Amino acid sequence: MRCLKLCLVGWMLVVVAQARPFTVVAYNVENLFDVDGVATYEDFQPARYTRAHALTKLQNIARAVARFEGGRGPDVLLLSEIEVDATPGKAPPDYDGILARYAGLRLEAMLGPKFDAAIGDLPAEALLAKALADAGMTGYQMVIGDAPPAPGERKQEITCAVFTRFPIKQARAHPTPGARAILEVVVEVDGAPLHLFANHWKSGASDPETEKTRAGNARTLRTRLDEIFRADPHADVVIGGDLNSQYNQKQRYPKMKTTALNDVLRSQGNELAVRGPSRDLYNLWYELPVADRGSDTYRGEWGTLMHLIVSRGLYDYRGVQYVDNSFAVAKFAGLNADDKGLPVRWSFEGPAGQGFSDHFPVAAKFITVADNRADNYLALRRASAEGAADAAPVLTVDYAAMDLAKVALTAAALPAGASLRADGYKGKIVRVEGVVAPGARLAVAFRGETYDVFSHDAEFRKKLRAEFQAGQTVRFYGELGQYKERWQFVIQDPSWVK
């Protein structure tokens, strides 16, 4: 068993959730680091990552979390990519004391004019606790997986965390060679135990080599689940986090003989099958229509790397029960989703950075039931089954289907004389009418400034270069962004050229 840090988050009195629906959210916060200036990742060393960047990142996470439960936040957060403190103290931090000490000071002051060495020494999870408290989200307890590496292994830079308002009865980490440990936290919900597993498996969903490491994580988790289910086949279990696997991993990558998620862990999509003796897990991605299954994008394809998986016990009438069809992707237009409906991922660009995460959170609702009937199951609407949906084609971002006239910024809508080279315009689709600039690099003069013109499709780039001649007037829709300090319009689909 690896050592863990357990803390009370919130300087107000802890309010234990009682006898009401509650929400579980799994959220990859895309590398949340502290501000001590010590980091293995180059991106989070002082030359690039400042206190202003940290403030933006922390407050944006809090803004996303506040979208749940009317601003109160979910009762359970399963978080991925929290920095393992590179400069820990001799004793575990007193998180409750930290929040009490800074109760009269907001985070922007702590990371601004009131910054000192003591604040610089706070770990990332303490700063996040403060960001949540500033936004009115208190009453959490928190467990952080923080452990020395096994002999011969390097120290992991990031870890998982569980934030919960429910009383914590047990917490332990389950190590896997060459991978991040899986964090298990057992909480008590209205007197009933609920097992929570926070995960962050090896990246590279389509790579057969990294699948071997993910299979190791899956074996670790499956071994622990088998122990739990031997003791109680109807135990209430929620598995969440970034598994770096597609819900239909086996069907999506048929060359993989053994997949971590589907073969080793035995995640599956027949919702009624969990009532039988052989299938004890159900993946909540199957609750959604196929066209809505996506929490992240890579090279124009939607992925389902974030997961919430539930056990058979969450369908019976004992203890905790899943709220049928409540699973959702937390995609908030104008906040963590851009005009195209894609994740607004974190970016270091600008003096304070911007964005949220390359993953949307996923969420589900639960209730407690007092019947104490493990032999009676929840009646389901639209119970899902395996089959054609498992082998569904890869969902791609349909740039051609976007209503560009509706979402694009036009010259008439832009302030006269204002430059588009500002953080607030990044990711926006703009209707461009300009003149092709001279030079080898394809560029356009627009509103008195010159922007590169780019496409991710190499063949289409060649076609644009051949057709767009210097001095020619061109009209197209482009997504505004920056690459290596150069501002550019990205033409995402040939239909964007008019």
Task: Encode pLDDT of 305-334 as tens digits.
Answer: 999 999 999 999 999 999 999 999 999 999
- Asked if the structure places residue 387 within a domain, the reply is no
Q: Can you give the pLDDT at residue 498?
A: 84
Which is nearest to 368 in space by CA: 188, 160, 244, 206?
Answer: 188
Q: Which CA distances in Å does 17 have to 166, 239, 447, 473? A: 6, 20, 55, 62
Same-domain pairing of 353 and 419:
no
> Are 106 and 202 contained in the same domain?
yes
CATH number of the structural domain spanning residue 451 = 2.40.50.330
| DSSP helix/strand/coil, 190 | coil
Other beta carbons within 10 angstroms of residue 437's beta carbon come to 18
Tell which residue, 444, 449, 441, has the closest CA to residue 476. Answer: 444
Two tokens, residue 486: 């150069």
Closest CA relative to residue 154, chosen from 245, 214, 87, 84: 84
Cβ–Cβ under 8 Å, residues 200 and 214? no
Cα–Cα–Cα angle for 67, 104, 111, rounded to 5 degrees: 75
210 or 407: whose pLDDT is higher? 210
* Domain containing residue 163: CATH number: 3.60.10.10
Which of 312, 345, 377 corresponds to the end of one domain?
377
Pick from 101, 90, 155: which is nearest to 126 by CA? 101
pLDDT band at 8 (very low <50, low <70, confident <90, very high): very low
Establish if 485 belongs to a structural domain: yes
pLDDT value, residue 14: 38
The pLDDT assigned to 79 comes to: 98
- Domain stop point among 312, 344, 377: 377
Average pLDDT estimate for 145-156: 72
Q: Is the pLDDT of residue 300 over 60?
A: yes
Check whether residue 255 and residue 289 sit in a common domain: yes
Position 231 in a domain: yes
* Statement to judge: residues 436 and 473 lie in one domain: yes
Question: Predicted confidence band at 387 (pLDDT cuts at 50, 70, 90)?
Answer: low
Q: Is 454 contained in some domain?
A: yes
Q: Is 385 a domain residue?
A: no
Q: Is there a domain that residue 386 lies in?
A: no
User: Does 227 lie in the same domain as 152?
Assistant: yes
Distance CA 79, CA 200 (A): 9
> What DSSP line would sit under 240-278, residue for residue?
EEE-SS-TTHHHHSTT-SS-IIIIII-----TTGGGSSS
DSSP E strand boundaries for 256-361: 281-283, 296-298, 301-303, 306-311, 316-322, 328-329
- For the chain, the average pLDDT equals 90
pLDDT, position 240: 98
Q: Is residue 351 part of a domain?
A: yes
Tokens in use for 99? 């929040």
Same domain, 131 and 192: yes
Structure tokens belonging to residue 131:
């960001």
345 and 418 fall within a common domain: no
Looking at the structure, tell me whether residues 213 and 170 fall in a common domain: yes
| Res. 427: pLDDT tops 80 | no
Instruction: Single out the residue of 345, 328, 18, 47 nearest to residue 189, CA to CA.
Output: 18
Q: Are residues 313 and 408 in the same domain?
A: no
CA–CA separation, 91 vs 111, rounded Å?
23
Mark whether 88 and 172 lie in a shared domain. yes
Boundary residue ending a domain (313, 346, 377): 377
Total domain count, the chain: 2
188, part of any domain: yes
Summarize pLDDT for 236-281 with one digit per residue, the tens. 999 999 999 999 999 999 999 999 999 999 999 999 999 998 899 9
Q: Are 351 and 448 in the same domain? A: no
Domain shared by 338 and 479, yes or no: no
Predicted pLDDT at 108 = 98
Q: Tell me the pLDDT tens digit for each residue of 77-100.
A: 999 999 999 898 888 888 899 999
Domain hosting residue 485, numbered range: 399-496
Per-residue pLDDT tens for 165-182? 999 999 999 999 889 999
Determine the Cα–Cα distance for residues 318 and 316; give it in Å rounded to an integer. 6
